[in-house]
Amino acid sequence: MDDSDPGLERAVGRPVPAGAYVRVLGGFYEGLELPIDREWLVLGRGRSAEMMLAEPTLSRAHAAVGYDGGGFFVQDLRSTNGTLVNGERRERAALQDGDEIQIGRLHLLVRLLGFADADVPLDAA
């Protein structure tokens, strides 16, 4: 990943509200919960991914989930198979509680507990 690429937006130094995670809905990793506890969390099959998943349909650095100060998001990292949010291929998408992300064959359910409104961060309440 090239951090100087303007297409790969990253937040810096923002507190991340607690309680957000994605849950794998099926397959070998079914039930696995991955906390979104940082601004930028890379999902993929490569060793450099913070959340390494041994799934051959994932790119080494497939997608990132995180928090950008205004809400939670998912961003495709130029993966081979793309990233779908609620069935639509997306380069970057704001996430809401209950959204479904598909990366490769993995289907992930987004849970943003305690983060009812994406426009109002928890730390502003």
Q: What is the pLDDT of residue 2?
A: 45
Q: What is the pLDDT of residue 10?
A: 52
| Sign of the dihedral defined by the CA atoms of residues 114, 115, 116, 120, in that order | positive
Q: What is the pLDDT of residue 3?
A: 46
E strands of 45-115, at which residues?
A: 51-52, 63-67, 72-76, 83-85, 88-89, 92-94, 100-103, 106-112
Q: What is the pLDDT of residue 115?
A: 65
Global pTM reads: 0.80
Q: What is the pLDDT of residue 124?
A: 39
Q: What is the pLDDT of residue 12?
A: 58
Tokens of 118: 């994406």
Q: What is the pLDDT of residue 113?
A: 87
Cα dihedral value 95, 23, 116, 121, nearest 10: -70
Tokens of 16: 């991340």
Q: What is the pLDDT of residue 40?
A: 95
Residues of the chain predicted below pLDDT 70: 1-13, 115-125
